[in-house]
Amino acid sequence: MTVIDGTLKLDPEEARRVRQERLERIGRWVLPLAIMVLAIWLWDRICVWNEIPQYILPRPGVVLTTLYNDAGLLFSALLVTLRITFLSLLLAVVGGVGLAVLFAQSKWVEMSFFPFAIVLQVTPIVAIFPLINIYVDNQTTKLLLCAWIVAFFPILSNTTLGLNSVDRNLRDLFKLNGATRWQQLRYLRLPAAMPYFLGGLKIAGGLSLIGAVVAEFVAGATGQSSGLASRIIEAGYRLNAPRLFAALFLISLTGILIFLVLSLISHLILRRWHESALKQER
Amino acid sequence: MMREQVAQTLASNMAPTLLALRGVGKVFSNGVTALSDVDLTIREGDFLSLLGPSGCGKSTALRLIAGLSTPTSGVLDWRGGGSLDRANIGFVFQEPTLLPWASVFDNVWLPLRLKGISRAKAAPAITEMLARVHLTGFEDAVPRELSGGMKMRVSIARAMVTKPRVLLMDEPFAALDEITRFKLNNDLLELWQDERFTVVFVTHSVFESVFLSNRVVVMAARPGRVFDELAIEASYPRDEAFRTSPDYAALCRQASDVLVNAINSTAGSHHDGH
């Protein structure tokens, strides 16, 4: 590199790399957006070219108008679904972390109870619901239970892994300093498990929404729910495809928002110390 | 100068025994004999190095002294009976072993925190200790923002903040570059001369052990055992002048010869290298 008039001249290689990086940064946003716009435009054209009736495939513009016109109905339904989603996510965090801490107390407890958690995880929630329907009266409790079963496992499994992945020397250090079990958990194992827990939380966030919607679907069949899923079923019966699409759009948007918020929380907590949150200096 | 030196050596020989290992052996559950029949007396105020090739059980010996592991034979006799309170032992690992999520200040606070001492109450001791290891101004940094040498300084500060009577160090500077290692050697010696605690220092570096210690215990492998002991009768404080002196060179050669003998004693009896 040579310095001319106090400005730093980059050699061609370096300049190309910088250009490449800038391009990549822009491309990361522009490309998906362009594809999205193109897809929506194509969707619109297909509807027009083939003269597809609105009750089969509505044009994107119609979906947007429906979203606006039916906003009251859809957003109140969204609120119902969101309530179940967040409550179940909260319970999944409490239950998942609580169980993980319990498991971490002894290998024996973990060995004895972990299989049950797996059984709960692998059995499709739709198949369990009829049972829940028999045993639980309260509608909200039913939905919560369903969404919780779907969402708690990634938190449990990740947090358990995290609690057990503590550096050996650090464990020795705590032992040398006469740390109690509680101190070891509080000051060493829980913070060490944090990145793992947050990874689980990101998965559980999406799953709790899926759990809530699926639970509403199954419960909606018995006709006592008013969440987004029952709006979708209702719209399906009435061949109201625009509303169906609008509801679907809201669910996806919610899922994306949940993921983004949880990613942000994760980044804020880990940014100072964990490898996953550090920017690579090149 | 000469008289002073003799007086110091005598004093170290007269110092009361802190810990005696008698016939100590350690066999791991996989059948490997890590240590066999080790007799070793550690006196108050010693800077004792355990020097040996890898596999000679020097780290195992350190873990036994720390109480992180128990001997399968023999006894550890702390000042003629009983075991030393854990609070009196500081341990420095081969890696800095810091809490990555906690600041430098909070890392040094940890041993005190585990004893129930609040952050505010511990603050003067932590600040003083950080000054002693030349880390003033880095209180709020997290470990990943520090260099390897600085991390090791934090680790030493953490071990010393409880004012332990014994400092156990397991190849603490092995991963550092030479310049950093020399600096840390000097600082450690300074700390030791001020406070006069006892140090047991595990290393595989002849130069380091001779520079730091008043006693170098050379160990041999398979099975891990004490091979020989050298008294390093050079006066403290030792500084850069000592590092380049003929005395130091002669002592290093002497220690090196013993180490070579220790290594050969293993190779001869076990036919190493297939």
For residue A17, the model assigns a pLDDT of 87
**Are B143 and A273 inside 8 Å of each other by CB?**
yes
Say if B8 falls within a structural domain.
Answer: no
B29 and B144 belong to one structural domain: no
Kindly report the nearest CA distance between residue A276 and chain B, in angstroms.
13
Give Cβ neighbours of residue A109 (< 8 Å, ≥ 6 apart). Answer: A102, A103
The topology under which CATH files domain A60-277 is MetI-like fold (1.10.3720)
Structure tokens given for B67: 């109480």
Tokens 């369990």 identify what position? A128
B91 found inside a domain:
no
Q: Which residues of A touch B144 (CB under 8 A)?
A: 273, 278
Is there a single domain that holds both residue B148 and residue B250? no
Are B23 and B73 within one domain? Answer: yes
Is B10 part of any domain?
A: no
pLDDT score, position A274? 82
A174, A177, A273 member nearest B100 (Cβ): A273
A202 phi and psi, to 5 degrees? Answer: -60, -40
pLDDT, position A1: 44
Is residue B247 included in any domain, yes or no?
yes
Q: Are residues B86 and A177, on separate chains, in Cβ contact within 8 Å?
A: yes
Neighbours of B128 (CB within 10 A): 12
* pLDDT given at position B252: 93
The pLDDT value given to residue B7: 44
- Tell me which chain B residues have a C-beta less than 8 angstroms from the C-beta of A274: 100-101
Contact: B113, A274; criterion CB under 8 Å: no
Mark whether B138 and B244 lie in a shared domain: no
Question: Structural domain boundaries of chain A?
Answer: 3-49, 60-277
pLDDT score recorded for residue A123: 86
Residues B123, B103, single domain; the answer is: yes
Spell out the residues 6+ positions from residue A209 whose beta carbon is closer than 8 angstroms to its own.
Answer: A81, A85, A251, A254, A255, A258
Residue in A169, A194, A273 closest to B97 by CB: A169
Nearest chain A residue to B106, by CA: A187
User: How far is B63 from A264, CA to CA, in rounded Å?
Assistant: 43
- Decide if B101 and A176 are in contact by the 8 Å CB cutoff: no
Residues B155 and B183 in one domain: no
State the smallest CA–CA distance between residue A180 and chain B in angstroms: 8
Written as one letter, the residue type at B16 is P
In a domain, B206, yes or no: yes
Q: What is the pLDDT of residue A282?
A: 46
Give the CATH number, domain containing residue B183.
Answer: 3.40.50.300
Predicted pLDDT at B266: 77
Q: Is residue B38 part of a domain?
A: yes
Among residues B164, B184, B199, the one where a domain terminates is B164
The answer to whether residues B64 and B195 belong to one domain is yes
Same domain, B243 and B204: yes
Cβ contact, residue pair B100, A183, below 8 Å: no
Name chain A contacts of B113, Cβ cutoff 8 Å: 187
Total number of residues shown for chain B: 274
**CA atoms within 13 A of residue A40's CA, in its CB half-sphere:** 11
In a domain, B21, yes or no: yes
The answer to whether the CB atoms of A179 and B101 lie below 8 A apart is no
Q: Per the CB < 8 Å rule, is A172 touching B93?
A: yes
**Tally of domains in chain B:** 2
Task: Please check whether residue B94 lies inside any domain of the structure.
Answer: no
Both B170 and B247 in a single domain?
yes
Give the residue numbers spanning the domain of B105.
99-164
Verify whether the Cβ–Cβ distance A188 to B99 is below 8 Å: yes
Tell me: do B258 and B205 sit in the same domain: yes
Tens digits of pLDDT across chain B (274 residues): 444 444 455 455 667 888 889 899 999 988 888 898 899 999 989 999 999 988 888 999 999 999 889 999 988 888 755 555 655 889 999 999 999 999 999 999 999 999 999 999 999 999 999 999 999 999 999 999 999 999 999 999 999 999 998 999 999 998 899 999 999 999 999 999 988 899 999 999 999 999 999 999 999 988 888 899 999 888 888 888 888 899 999 999 999 999 999 888 876 554 444 3
- Does the ipTM surpass 0.85? yes
Quote the pLDDT of residue A148: 92
Per CB-CB distance under 8 Å, the chain B contacts of A169 are 93, 95, 97
The shortest C-alpha distance from A150 to chain B (Å) reads 31
Domain co-membership, B200 together with B249: yes
Give the separation between CA A157 and CA A3, rounded to whole angstroms.
56
Check B87 against A173: CB less than 8 A apart: no
B20 in the same domain as B142: no
Facing residue for A175 by CB, picked from B68, B110, B115: B68
> CA of B67: how far to CAs of A91, A107, B9, B124, in Å?
42, 24, 30, 29
pLDDT tens, residue order, chain A (282 aa): 444 455 566 678 888 888 888 888 888 889 999 999 999 999 999 999 999 998 889 999 999 999 999 999 899 999 999 999 999 999 999 999 999 999 988 888 888 888 888 888 888 888 888 888 889 888 889 899 999 999 999 999 999 999 999 999 999 999 999 899 999 999 999 999 999 999 999 999 999 999 999 988 888 655 556 889 888 888 888 889 999 999 999 999 999 999 999 999 999 999 888 877 766 544
